[in-house]
Amino acid sequence: MVPSLPNDQERGRGNLSYSKREVFGMTKPEYEWTWKELPVGNVILEPGNASQYRTGDWKSLKPVLKRELCIHCGLCYIFCPDMAYGPDSESCFIADLFYCKGCGICAKECPTGAITMVMEEEGK
């Protein structure tokens, strides 16, 4: 049983662009914090807020799935080092590009060659 990832609405992140997104994971973007406001020892008091961190903008290549080749084996999901993969409504595994760093391990591991890495801006 593979758990599915929450969607953007469930995460409450809507369509915010990266520039507006908090990276330090607190209630406002890191560049708005003054030194006086920081918690002692820079402790992060909100559990689980790493899910709000867009690692997806580190990538230059993104995975594209050819659905007709997908056998639903889940190897991409298992091997993904960032747990970016989850099943969609057709039980195909799809990378959440908010997190996917474009490492290409999924494409390397896919037994049917269903995943190819393409330049992000070309793969629309």
Partner 1 sequence: MGKRIGIEVSIAAAEAVKQANVDVISAYPITPQTHIVEHLSELVANGEMDAEFFCVESEHSALSVCVGSQATGARSFTCTSAQGLALLSEVTFIASGLRLPIVMILANRTLSAPLSIWNDHSDAMMVRDCGWIQFFTENGQEVYDHVFISYRVAEDRQVLFPAIINMDGFILSHVIEPLEMIEQEKIDQFLPPYEPLHRLHPDKPVTMGAFALPAIFAETKKAQEVALLSSLPKILEVWKAFGDMTGRYYHPIETYRAEDAETLLVTMGSFGETASVAVDQMRAEGRSVGLIKIRLWRPFPFNDFKKAVQGAKNLVVIDRAVSPGGPKGPVASEVRSALFGESVHPTVYDFVAGISGRDVGPSDFVKMVDKAEIEIEEGNREGYELYGVRE
- Nearer of residues 31 and 68 to partner 1, judged by Cβ: 31
Among 2, 18, 27, 30, binds partner 1 (CB under 8 A): 30
Residue 20 engages partner 1 in binding (rule: CB under 8 A): no
Per CB under 8 A, contacts with partner 1 among 64-83 are none
Give the Cα separation of 100 and 58 in Å (integer): 8
Closest CA to 50 of 13, 93, 2: 13
As measured in angstroms, the least distance from the Cβ of 22 to partner 1 is: 11
User: Which one-letter amino acid corresponds to residue 7?
Assistant: N
Neighbours of 34 (CB within 10 A): 6
- List, in sequence order, every residue forming a beta bridge with 107; answer none if it has no partner: none
The two tokens of residue 89 are 């409504």
Residue 1 engages partner 1 in binding (rule: CB under 8 A): no
Residue 40 engages partner 1 in binding (rule: CB under 8 A): yes
Stretch that binds partner 1, among 10-18, 32-40, 61-69, 114-122 (CB under 8 A): 32-40
